[in-house]
Amino acid sequence: MVDQSMYFDAVRTFEAAGVCTRFPHPSQLYRTLLAKDWQPSLCLVPNLRIPPAVLVNRATICASPSHAASLVINALSAVRASRYESPGKKEGKREEPEALRLQGDEVRQGVAKLGFAWEAAHVRIFRGEHQLAIALIELCNNPSVTTSSVIVQDFAKNDFELRLFVIEGRIVHKVYTNFAWVDRDGYLREFVMKGRAEAVRSWMSGDEEAMALAERKAKKLVSAWLCWFRTQSVEALPALRMDILIKRVGAGAAEVFTLELTELGFSMLGVDSLPPQVFGALLTSCFDDTGPTTEEARRLNDGTKRLIAVGGADGGWRCAHDAAQGKDATAGEHTPAEGVEGDEGDEGDEG
């Protein structure tokens, strides 16, 4: 857990004196990512693909966990009704995605989680109001918890998580992951990583077409989020990791949902090629305000050549090298916001 109050007080003092924050991010963006309050705030925006989410204050939980759970269930129901069309009715709204829809007498699942936290131990999966009440009070009773509220969100059934590493507005690497099981207390256990081919076989029933569709939808989702990031900070966004839930819903069909937006400092999951790319982009962003001096440009150029010699011709520090040479690192690449507005592609906003 992060003692966020002292950290942000210190950072804001430096920023008020004109010292820019480049790692992890400018303070207002970093706080939003850490608090995760974008989830309830933006869950009504269709193309961001966030399952319905609400916030419940810690005081409400501590006063009466059962009452807090009841309020949460009612609030989620209201959000759901606003967001999705009721079964059998034509209300001009989109149908609830299959991954969120109840089947038969199924009791709705959800996720209770804390902001300013990274560990899976601060995420609890629950089923029904009674389990939610227990999850809420146990999360709040954690001695390291300083946040004022708990996020509660509908559970999106999924086959795996697609973790997308985005550097300077481009997806440069994908990792296919999952948790092997959920224990009796609702905690996620045994982190698993697979290559793409094995992920298709194990998690998508061998359906290559469904995997390809999911990846296209995930790319479109990244574009939508990059536009949102521009609203939160006009400064450079060197890199981030976006975690996307993937659910195969039929032959050649898949749904995607935003799980997490992970700030700089994210785990690179042991991918050796990523650190030089990520920190190269970060280094480049440090010169956005003034540009490098002649001496700094020379050092960047010399250092980048050495790194490329070690990392290969495709080493990720080319962005720093280009900056040192005065080149546009994004020239010729696709615009990050491509396909966000007016895109009527086959995947649609609701996939």
> Which CATH number among 3.30.470, 3.30.2320, 1.10.10, 3.40.50 corresponds to the domain 158-268?
3.30.470
Is residue 55 within 8 Å of 44, Cβ to Cβ? no
DSSP 8-state assignment for residue 107: P
- Residue 73, class by beta-carbon neighbours within 10 Å (0-12 exposed, 13-18 middle, 19+ buried)? middle
The pair of three-digit structure tokens given for residue 333, joined into one six-digit string = 């690449």
What pLDDT is attached to residue 348?
A: 46
Residue 40, preceding bond cis, omega within 30 degrees? no
Whole-angstrom distance, CA of residue 161 vs CA of residue 76: 24
Whole-angstrom distance, CA of residue 158 vs CA of residue 254: 10
Instruction: Kindly compute the dihedral angle of the four CA atoms of residues 210, 192, 240, 156, in this order, to the nearest 10 degrees.
Output: 50
User: CA dist 108 to 71, 159, 181, Å?
Assistant: 15, 18, 18
- Residue 343, class by beta-carbon neighbours within 10 Å (0-12 exposed, 13-18 middle, 19+ buried)? middle
Which phi and psi angles does 180 have, rounded to 5°? -70, -35
The pair of three-digit structure tokens given for residue 242, joined into one six-digit string = 């976006």
Nearest Cα residue to 127 out of 186, 68, 183: 186
30-38 contacts, C-beta under 8 A, 24 or more apart: 30/263, 31/4, 32/232, 33/261, 33/262, 33/263, 34/2, 34/4, 34/115, 34/116, 34/263, 35/4, 35/115, 35/116, 35/147, 36/113, 36/115, 36/151, 36/260, 37/115, 37/151, 38/261
pLDDT per residue as tens, the chain (351 positions): 457 888 899 999 999 988 889 999 999 999 999 999 999 999 999 999 999 999 999 999 999 999 999 999 999 999 999 999 776 666 667 889 999 999 889 999 999 999 988 776 789 999 999 999 999 999 999 877 788 999 999 999 999 999 999 999 999 999 999 987 778 776 777 789 999 999 999 999 999 999 999 999 999 999 999 999 999 999 889 999 999 999 999 999 999 999 999 999 999 999 999 999 999 999 989 887 776 788 878 887 776 666 666 555 444 434 444 444 444 433 334 434 444 443 434 444 556
SS3 state of residue 151: strand
Whole-angstrom distance, CA of residue 128 vs CA of residue 169: 40
Is residue 28 within 8 Å of 142, Cβ to Cβ? no
Domain ranges of the chain: 36-156, 158-268, 278-324
Is residue 336 within 8 Å of 221, Cβ to Cβ? no
What pLDDT is attached to residue 307?
A: 62
Q: How many other β-carbons are positioned within 10 Å of the β-carbon of residue 64?
A: 13
Is residue 125 within 8 Å of 110, Cβ to Cβ? yes
What pLDDT is attached to residue 314?
A: 45
- The angle at the Cα of 174, spanning 173 to 180, to the nearest 5 degrees, equals 150
pTM of the model: 0.81
Number of Cα atoms under 13 Å in the Cβ half of residue 197: 0
